[in-house]
Chains A and B, each alone.
Chain A
Amino acid sequence: MKRFILPFLLLAPIAIWAQETINRAVPPPPGPAKIIEIGKTEKFTLNNGLEVIVVRNTKLPRISVSLTVNRDPILEGNKAGLTSMAGQLLRSGTTTMDKASLDDAIDFLGGNIYASATSIGGASLSSNFKKLFAIIADIVFHPSFSNTQLEKIKKQELSGLAQSKDDPNSIAGNVVSKLLYGANHPYGEIETDSTVKNVSVEDIKTYFSTYWKPNISYLVFVGDITKEEAKELAEKYFGKWQRADVPKPQYPVPSNPAKPIIAIVDRPVSVQSVINFVQTENLKPGEPDVIPVRVMNDILGGGSSSRLFMNLREKHGFTYGAYSAVNPDKLIGSFNAEASVRNEKTDSAIGEFLKEFALIRTTPVSETEVSLAKNTLSGAFARSLENPATVANFALNEAIYHLPADYYQNYLKNIAAVNAGTVMEMAQKYIQPQHMYTVIVGNAKQIVNGLDKYGTVQYYDVEGNAIAAPVIKQIDASITGKSVIEKAAAAMGEAALTNIKDLEISGTAGAMGQTLQFDQKYLLPDYFEQTLSIQGMLLQKQLTKEGTYSVTAQGQEQPLKDDDKEELSESAAMLPEAFYLSKNGYSFTVKDVEPVDGNDAYAVEIKSPRGRVFTNYYDVKTGLKVKSVVEKDAGPAGKLEVQTYYQDYKSYNGLMVPMKTIVDQGKLKIELDVKDVKTNQGLKPTDFK
């Protein structure tokens, strides 16, 4: 510390001198505020109704353009997914250029072109822009809509869907949409495998020919281009585009629940609950409330210095982040507040959210908070003007949402006018905990207790359909861990062990598109060998005989701990349940009844003599082992839960052998299929080496 102080002493005279002009001890005040000028936009309309907006900015020799088709939201029904694929297909070739030639032509201009279901656009240097614009028009008016390309896009869409099925945030998104808007509302539709597969090239053609019309579209140029140049290009390429009426569907206005609903999606593997508080809001872009609502939300949960973040993360450490948002929309707006919290804090976290909702509704916020929020929003507005596209977006929003012409000119003034009173008024109007859904995707059994104090608890499946609450089963007092294991041993053929001397099981193991071979050999009393190989090449081998153990992987002998040896002894038993019962020191505890693949099973925690703990699941009716769960140490990644499922038992000489075994390690899934089972083949100890 001393060494650090020294230079400051040396510095002192200079610092005193410097204080004549500046005072370091306090932050300098801002200079006189610069006038925020929003760049000029020019507009004109073609005869076919296409509105053109031009924002000239010559700072860089570059021009960008976008065509926006302002149709109303549409219902896709059993073809949900159509609009998410339509844009990609549009951009995949024209009648004279296949995808490769099109890509090459665009890249050759040093430009880029993108497309979606309601827009197309691109950018390049000014010098190449006319050519780029011609290509955009070619895509719009002469798309190839090739079936091959659509099939490729569908494949990508389906693999995306497959990944999202496991993702709690995607599940939450689906359920929130369905609850807030209902399945017959464009915002409530859910894309599934079958709806994606239903989409045909014809559907996409019909979509574009119905909705892409000049009279509902806007062409926006930004950059190094004059109004005259823009007009010439627009007329030349889009002037002959025929206007036509476009359907304007009406949708029922969704209503919020009359009382709070706690909507739970059970996801037994979850370690965190994804919590979303949601309601619809009658708030359209440009309405007077939009700006004060934004200030209110910035105080509540807009960012990392807002109340929700400070409370749930900084104060309580329930979560990595907690946020809220109020989203205006021309059809129907929404409110959302969310956080992912660890299971055991689900109840407390909901309580803290509700506390914050109540607080901002009932107690005036401090002056410091209002001014921090106002400064943050004003600053972001001013900085956004650095990008000329912002100005064009303002013009486009003004047109699409019919905003007053001076809406953005007055934006900062309207932020400045917000005070603690308006914030409370907005909170009362737009945050109504009595009419919210609280959607929770999580481990229902672990989190549900106590949640009914917040509202009516209702369960949903991953697609947002209401379902019955999972039944929490009671276990009969006569059932003990030991009785379950005994029943299992009997059911799986303990009696047959007297007739069986040896056993050989072989089959295939599939993982990540690879196929491996496995072979298991058993010979009483304790000979066991298991090999795993690929195309005849040995990958792994386990061997147990006469009290010795070895595991080799790629020819390398693996070091074994005593725990590993104990586990190997269990594997060496033809019927592990009989083995547990025959040895001293195994203890069994029934923990629970829960469904495995739809059938109730007892969960029995087994503790080995060395203290290893794992849980096996035995079918209540048949007594067979259907699942086992063990935690493995996965090095720096922490604990890894390995779940193994045993299915499709068949009897061999009275011994029950599962024909299918699935080992699920979260990211990795291995499926073992038994192809051949032999008993009493006359195996000898010398066969094990």
Chain B
Amino acid sequence: MKKMFFVVVALCLLSQHLQAQTRKIEFDEYKLPNGLTVILHRDKTAPVVAIGVLYHVGSKNELPGRTGFAHFFEHLMFEGSDNIKRGEFMKYVSNAGGTNNANTTQDRTYYYEVLPANQLQLGLWLESERMMHSKIEQVGVNTQREVVKEEKRTRIDNQPYGSIIGEIFKRAFKVHPYKYQPIGSMDDLNAAKLDEFIQFYKTFYVPNNAVLSIAGDIDIPETKKLINDYFGPIPKGTLPIPRPNVTEPPLGGEVRDVVEDNIQLPAVIEAYRAPKQGTKEYYAFNVLSTILSGGNSAQLNKILVDQKQLAVATGAFNYALEDASLFIIYSIANAGIKPTILENNMDSIVNAMKSGLVSEHEFQKVKNQINTQFVTRNATMQGIAESLANYQVYFGDADLINTEIKKLDEVTREDVLAVAQKYLVKNNRVILYYVPKGTKSQYIKK
């Protein structure tokens, strides 16, 4: 009876699927003579505008011995400019009724303001000041160094399980700068001289290494004129922009370790090397991660949390980056459950993915989930501005905001099986046990 119901639903969905039309995100894209890429999207549904600037610099562009620079700059860039006094940047935004923030990854740094639409010009002024002549002075460097230390304490050192990503990446990559996390090393930041910060700014914070992405209730011709006024005078960068060009050798065998943390419940993390973002296999991995952890009925949650009650939380995601990815599966043990038990059960779920095609029903389910996600994700102006900029910088094609779903749609059950068999193998993975302080010795295997 139940099966019948699902078959009927599946058929309905398949037919509807073709009709479900994504609302197309229309946009204008052009370049200023100084090399700045501009993307504009107009949407009048709310009197709001999001102004984002994405610089194509992340922690992977840092020099050896100078880790943490890219993220540190994210902080330094709020210190003011020739025309903005120290500590005033954020006040301009709040006083205009807006909000702002920034974030740094291994690959890029993104700044944004969300403002009432009539404050567009203020946003352009702030961002162009930042790009044109940010203040890089010792006092700001000293202040922000302390703030970054507090941030590291709060978000990583003092956060249960907060160091997982760093511990994984430093074991998963031997050569590529992905072995360092964006937060970097405090020693490196302490050692850096003011000159080096200025050099970093002149190298990476240049219009020809940036995308200005604006979405919201704007008038396109007027916005173009303002952009020309504010960003046009910024000179093109003259220094070469270094990008890492290294080939990471194969992992060459399973890497296994035990890490102590201030936690009550142990966790098991498996990280498999995976292809870089945008490849055909990358899309297959996205489908695979939905099979494993999209929703309550996904394999990991259903088996480990609901049926066997071995874990209090579990999931899988593809940590996809410009040069390489890691496919990460994690579980946090229920009270009294040993990590070894958890690992065995995670492995049998992974092995099932490698031993045969997932059922038609399950495959259709995850396709439906992915489709819903894709269609509904462009709900905010800030989200649209950031997505457009990301697609432009990573793939040179902002229109992927509309068309990427096709690549996911094309993934077949066979593709998922193929990537599972090719990549989810022991000698391609790092496996970590996270255990309470003082208990490491119990888990070291001889």
| B133 CB contacts on chain A under 8 angstroms | 8
- Interface presence of B229 (CB below 8 A): yes
- Whether A372 lies near B125 (C-beta < 8 A) is no
- Whether B116 lies near A34 (C-beta < 8 A) is yes
| A159 CB contacts on chain B under 8 angstroms | 335
- Whether A127 lies near B20 (C-beta < 8 A) is yes
- Per-residue CB proximity of B60-95 to A under 8 Å, as 1/0? 000000000000000000000011000000011011
- Whether B233 lies near A383 (C-beta < 8 A) is no
Within 8 A of A (CB), among B1-54: 2, 6, 9-10, 13, 16-17, 19-23, 45-48
- Interface presence of A568 (CB below 8 A): no
- Whether A107 lies near B229 (C-beta < 8 A) is no
- Whether B116 lies near A110 (C-beta < 8 A) is no
- Whether B97 lies near A668 (C-beta < 8 A) is no
- Per-residue CB proximity of A368-398 to B under 8 Å, as 1/0? 0001100110111011011100000000000
CB B290 to nearest CB in A, in angstroms, measures 9
- Interface presence of A405 (CB below 8 A): no
Binds B, one of A97-105, A266-274, A600-608: A97-105
- Whether B309 lies near A106 (C-beta < 8 A) is no
CA distance A163 to B312 in the complex (A): 14
Within 8 A of A (CB), among B113-152: 114-122, 124-125, 129, 133, 136
CB A632 to nearest CB in B, in angstroms, measures 10
CB A393 to nearest CB in B, in angstroms, measures 15
Specify which of B13, B99, B198, B306 is in contact with A4 (CB 8 Å cutoff): B198
Q: Which residue on chain A has the smallest CB distance to residue B20?
A: A127
| A143 CB contacts on chain B under 8 angstroms | none
- Interface presence of B442 (CB below 8 A): yes
- Whether A387 lies near B119 (C-beta < 8 A) is no
- Whether B9 lies near A383 (C-beta < 8 A) is no
- Whether A24 lies near B263 (C-beta < 8 A) is no
Binds B, one of A54-62, A248-256, A462-470: A54-62
| B19 CB contacts on chain A under 8 angstroms | 127
- Whether A11 lies near B23 (C-beta < 8 A) is no
Binds B, one of A15-23, A424-432, A520-528: A15-23
How many B residues have CB within 8 A of the partner chain? Answer: 89
- Whether B441 lies near A61 (C-beta < 8 A) is no
Specify which of A27, A107, A110, A636 is in contact with B125 (CB 8 Å cutoff): A27
CA distance A127 to B22 in the complex (A): 12
- Whether B309 lies near A60 (C-beta < 8 A) is no
Given contacts A18-B229, A60-B376, contact A28 B125 (CB under 8 A): yes
Given contacts A32-B118, A60-B378, A128-B13, contact A668 B335 (CB under 8 A): no
- Interface presence of B252 (CB below 8 A): no
Within 8 A of B (CB), among A470-523: 511-514, 516
| A386 CB contacts on chain B under 8 angstroms | 45-46, 48, 380-381
| A554 CB contacts on chain B under 8 angstroms | 441, 444, 446
- Interface presence of A401 (CB below 8 A): no
Within 8 A of B (CB), among A15-46: 15, 17-18, 21-22, 24-37
| A57 CB contacts on chain B under 8 angstroms | 45
| A128 CB contacts on chain B under 8 angstroms | 13, 16, 368, 372
- Whether B23 lies near A61 (C-beta < 8 A) is yes
- Whether A667 lies near B375 (C-beta < 8 A) is no
Q: Which residue on chain A has the smallest CB distance to residue B43?
A: A59
| A31 CB contacts on chain B under 8 angstroms | 117-121
CA distance A99 to B305 in the complex (A): 12
| B244 CB contacts on chain A under 8 angstroms | none
Given contacts A25-B83, A383-B99, A667-B262, contact A59 B23 (CB under 8 A): yes
- Whether B116 lies near A22 (C-beta < 8 A) is no
- Interface presence of A247 (CB below 8 A): no
| B48 CB contacts on chain A under 8 angstroms | 382-383, 385-386
CA distance A539 to B442 in the complex (A): 8
Q: Which residue on chain A has the smallest CB distance to residue B379?
A: A60
| B47 CB contacts on chain A under 8 angstroms | 34-37, 382, 385
CA distance A22 to B20 in the complex (A): 46
Within 8 A of B (CB), among A104-131: 104, 106-112, 123-125, 127-128, 131
| B21 CB contacts on chain A under 8 angstroms | 61
- Whether A22 lies near B302 (C-beta < 8 A) is no
Specify which of B136, B266, B295, B378 is in contact with A107 (CB 8 Å cutoff): B295
- Whether A103 lies near B297 (C-beta < 8 A) is yes
| B361 CB contacts on chain A under 8 angstroms | 108
Q: Which residue on chain A has the smallest CB distance to residue B46?
A: A386
| A152 CB contacts on chain B under 8 angstroms | 309
- Interface presence of A540 (CB below 8 A): yes
Specify which of A7, A32, A99, A665 is in contact with B306 (CB 8 Å cutoff): A99
- Interface presence of A246 (CB below 8 A): no
- Per-residue CB proximity of B142-185 to A under 8 Å, as 1/0? 00000000000000010000000000000000000000000000
- Whether B335 lies near A382 (C-beta < 8 A) is no
CB A391 to nearest CB in B, in angstroms, measures 10
| B307 CB contacts on chain A under 8 angstroms | 100
- Whether B23 lies near A60 (C-beta < 8 A) is yes
| B336 CB contacts on chain A under 8 angstroms | 513
- Interface presence of A534 (CB below 8 A): yes
- Whether A380 lies near B298 (C-beta < 8 A) is no
- Whether A108 lies near B6 (C-beta < 8 A) is yes
CB A60 to nearest CB in B, in angstroms, measures 6
CB B130 to nearest CB in A, in angstroms, measures 12
- Interface presence of B423 (CB below 8 A): no
- Whether A375 lies near B233 (C-beta < 8 A) is no
Binds A, one of B274-282, B398-406, B431-439: B431-439
- Interface presence of B315 (CB below 8 A): no
CA distance A27 to B91 in the complex (A): 12
Given contacts A28-B122, A382-B116, contact A22 B230 (CB under 8 A): yes
- Interface presence of A10 (CB below 8 A): yes
Given contacts A34-B217, A106-B296, contact A305 B91 (CB under 8 A): yes
Q: Which residue on chain A has the smallest CB distance to residue B226?
A: A22
- Interface presence of A3 (CB below 8 A): yes
Q: Which residue on chain A has the smallest CB distance to residue B219?
A: A31
- Interface presence of A417 (CB below 8 A): no
- Interface presence of B364 (CB below 8 A): yes
- Whether A11 lies near B372 (C-beta < 8 A) is no
- Interface presence of A258 (CB below 8 A): no
- Interface presence of B412 (CB below 8 A): no
Q: Which residue on chain A has the smallest CB distance to residue B380?
A: A386
Specify which of A10, A22, A383 is in contact with B235 (CB 8 Å cutoff): A10
- Whether A127 lies near B157 (C-beta < 8 A) is no
- Interface presence of A560 (CB below 8 A): no
CA distance A175 to B372 in the complex (A): 44
- Interface presence of A553 (CB below 8 A): yes
CB B434 to nearest CB in A, in angstroms, measures 12
- Interface presence of B369 (CB below 8 A): yes
| B125 CB contacts on chain A under 8 angstroms | 22, 24, 27-28
CA distance A163 to B302 in the complex (A): 25
| A111 CB contacts on chain B under 8 angstroms | 372
28 A-B residue pairings within 8 Å (CB atoms): A18-B233, A27-B125, A31-B119, A31-B121, A60-B23, A60-B375, A61-B21, A107-B298, A108-B361, A108-B368, A112-B295, A125-B375, A127-B20, A128-B372, A163-B264, A375-B95, A375-B97, A379-B116, A382-B116, A383-B98, A383-B114, A383-B116, A386-B381, A387-B379, A516-B442, A539-B441, A553-B441, A637-B437
For the complex of A and B, list the 10 residue pairs with the smallest distance between their C-beta atoms, beginning with the closest: A379-B97, A110-B372, A107-B295, A103-B296, A103-B297, A34-B47, A110-B368, A31-B118, A28-B121, A104-B297
Given contacts A14-B233, A125-B376, A380-B97, 12 further A-B contacts (CB under 8 A): A24-B129, A27-B122, A30-B121, A33-B118, A61-B22, A104-B297, A107-B365, A110-B368, A379-B96, A540-B441, A554-B444, A667-B436
